[in-house]
Amino acid sequence: MKIAVLLPEGFEEIEAMTIIDILRRGKQDVTVIALGDITVKSAQNVRVIADLTLEAVNFQDYGMLVMPGGPGADNYLGHDKVKEAAKEFLNNPDKLIGAICAAPNILGQWNLMNGRKVTVYPTMEVRGAEIVKRKAIMDGNLITGAGPGAAADFALLLLLKITDAEVVRELRDRMIFQ
């Protein structure tokens, strides 16, 4: 499955890098997509070179869309292409969408939640959703995570939904996750 991981300016690097790392270790085809310039600055001023820019991507080529959060999550709001992709992924049971930290709040601001159960950064709300206090959860084809400390659990849940449970167990063991 092709996976699109989005990077807005000011993204949370623990979340983004953990997601990318775990999915790639799990032998998944991950494309890192910059919402602006190909070089994206994280919340802690780490510069990351993406694989593609938003204008070059065709989301129909992907089976999973992942939105890391962080202080820059509001930068998703200015991109109608991301909003439309999120809507299409949420409405297609054959596709998966993941959002962690502040990103579920963005989906709520776009009025896309429709009563779904989500987890989100503890100080945030998600319009139209039922908040569940857990590290990572799945409701239908939507997987959400609470924040940086939940990034590994979130990424492993993403991987579990697209590969064999044994692959995830072996990866957890190799990475020394308890």
- For residue 57, the model assigns a pLDDT of 98
Is 32 within a domain? Answer: yes
Strand pairing of 130-131 and 136-139? unpaired
Q: Which two tokens stand for residue 79?
A: 């991109």
- Catalogue the long-range contacts made by 77-85 (C-beta closer than 8 Å, 24 or more residues apart): 77/106, 77/109, 79/35, 79/54, 81/54, 81/55, 82/6, 82/35, 82/54, 83/110, 85/4, 85/59
Angstrom distances, CA of residue 144 to CA of 51, 80, 137, 141: 24, 21, 6, 10
Residue 166 lies in a domain: yes
pLDDT at 162: 98
Q: Which two tokens stand for residue 50?
A: 């993406």
- pLDDT tens column, 100-147: 999 999 999 999 999 999 999 999 999 999 999 999 999 999 999 999
CATH of the domain at 37: 3.40.50.880
Give the chain's domain count: 1
Looking at the domain assignment, is residue 156 inside a domain?
yes
Tens of pLDDT, residues 34-47: 999 999 999 999 99
101 catalytically annotated: yes
Q: Tokens in use for 130?
A: 């039922």
pLDDT value at residue 43: 98
* Among 22, 32, 100, 101, the one annotated catalytic: 101
Structural domain for 86, as ranges: 2-170
Please give the share of the chain, as a percent, with pLDDT higher than 70. Answer: 100
Among 16, 54, 50, 22, smallest CA distance to 35 is for 54
| Residue 157 confidence class, pLDDT cut points 50, 70, 90 | very high
The helix (H) or strand (E) run that includes residue 6 is strand 2-7
**pTM value surpassing 0.85:** yes
Tens digits of residue pLDDT in 47-69:
999 999 999 999 999 999 999 99
> Is pLDDT above 80 for 178?
no
CA distance 11 to 118: 20
Residue 7 lies in a domain: yes
Answer yes or no: is 177 within a domain. Answer: no
Is residue 176 situated within a structural domain? no
Measured distance CA(73)–CA(147) in Å, rounded: 12
Q: What's residue 105's pLDDT?
A: 99
Asked, for residue 175, whether it belongs to a domain, the answer is no
